[in-house]
Chain A
Amino acid sequence: MLTTSLRIAQKALKRNKLRTGLAILGMTIGVAAVLTMFALGTGAQESVSSDVKSAGTTLIFVRSGNFTRGGEESRIPTGLGSTNSLVPADADAIAKIDGVKYASANLRERTWVETSNQRFYTQVIGVDVNHPKAYGWGFPKGKFFKSDDVASAAQVAVIGTTLRDHLFGDENPVGKEVMLHNQSYKVVGVFEARDEDQGEYAIIPYTTAQKVLGTSSIQMVTVSAEQAGDTTRISDAIKALLRKRHNLDKAVPAPGAPSALGGLQAPGLGGGANPDDFTVKTQASEALTKGLNTSVAAFILANMPQMDQTNSQEMAGTLSRAGSTMTALLAAIATISLIVGGIGIMNIMLVSVTERTREIGIRRAIGARQSDVLQQFLVEAVTLSVFGGVFGIAIGFIASFVITNVLHWPATISITAVALAFGIAAVTGVFFGFYPARRASQLSPIDALRYE
Chain B
Amino acid sequence: MTTTPVISIKNLTKTYQMGEVAVHALRSVSLNINAGEFVTVIGPSGSGKSTLMHILGCLDQPTSGQYFLDGKDVSHLSDDEISSVRNSKIGFVFQGFNLLTRTSALENVELPLLYSSTPVSASERRNRAMAALEAVGLGSRYEHHTNQLSGGQQQRVAIARALLNNPSILLADEPTGNLDSRTSVEVMDIFQSLKEDRGITIVLITHEPEVAAYGSRIVAFKDGLIVSDELNEQRRTARGELAELPVAVEETA
Contact = CB atoms under 8 A, between A and B. Distances in A.
B98 A368 contact: no
Nearest to B57: A365
B111 interface: yes
Contact of A363 (B92, B115, B119): B115
Give the bracket for the number of chain B residues in contact with chain A. Answer: 20 to 34
Interface string A368-407: 1111100000000000000000000000000000000000
Nearest to B119: A1
Interface centre among B57, B94, B115 (most CB of A within 10 A): B115
Contact of B79 (A361, A363, A369, A449): A369
A194 interface: no
Contact of A365 (B84, B86, B102, B165): B86
Contacts of A365: 57, 59, 86, 92, 94, 98
A367 B84 contact: yes
A446 B62 CA distance: 12
B61 to A, nearest CB: 9
Contacts, number: 62
Nearest to A364: B83
B60 interface: yes
A367 B59 contact: no
Nearest to B86: A367
Contact of A368 (B57, B59, B83): B83
B102 A366 contact: no
A449 B80 CA distance: 18
A367 B83 contact: yes
A362 interface: yes
Interface string B156-189: 0000010001000000000000000000000000
Contacts of B84: 367, 369
Given A4-B114, A363-B115, A446-B59, A369 B98 contact: no
Nearest to B162: A366
Given A15-B102, A449-B98, A366 B111 contact: yes
B99 A366 contact: no
B128 interface: no
B66 interface: no
B100 interface: yes
A233 interface: no
Contact of B54 (A15, A367, A371, A446): A446
A359 B100 contact: yes
Interface string B66-108: 0000000000000110011011100010100011101000000
B112 interface: yes
Given A366-B86, A367-B88, A361 B112 contact: no
Given A4-B114, A367-B86, A362 B100 contact: yes
B23 to A, nearest CB: 14
A359 B57 CA distance: 18
A445 interface: yes
Contacts of A370: 79-80, 83
Contacts of B116: 367
Contacts of B115: 363, 366-369, 372
Contacts of B86: 364-367, 445
Contacts of A186: none
Interface in A401-452: 444-446, 449
Nearest to A449: B98
A299 B94 CA distance: 83
Nearest to B98: A362
Contacts of B83: 364, 367-370
B59 A449 contact: yes
Interface string B136-149: 00000000000000
Interface string A234-275: 000000000000000000000000000000000000000000
B54 A369 contact: no
A363 B99 CA distance: 10
Contacts of A15: 102
A359 B102 CA distance: 11
A386 B116 CA distance: 29
Interface of A: 1, 4, 15, 358-359, 361-372, 444-446, 449
Given A371-B80, A372-B115, 4 more contacts: A1-B119, A367-B84, A367-B112, A369-B80
The 6 closest A-B pairs by CB, nearest first: A367-B87, A367-B115, A446-B60, A369-B83, A446-B59, A368-B115
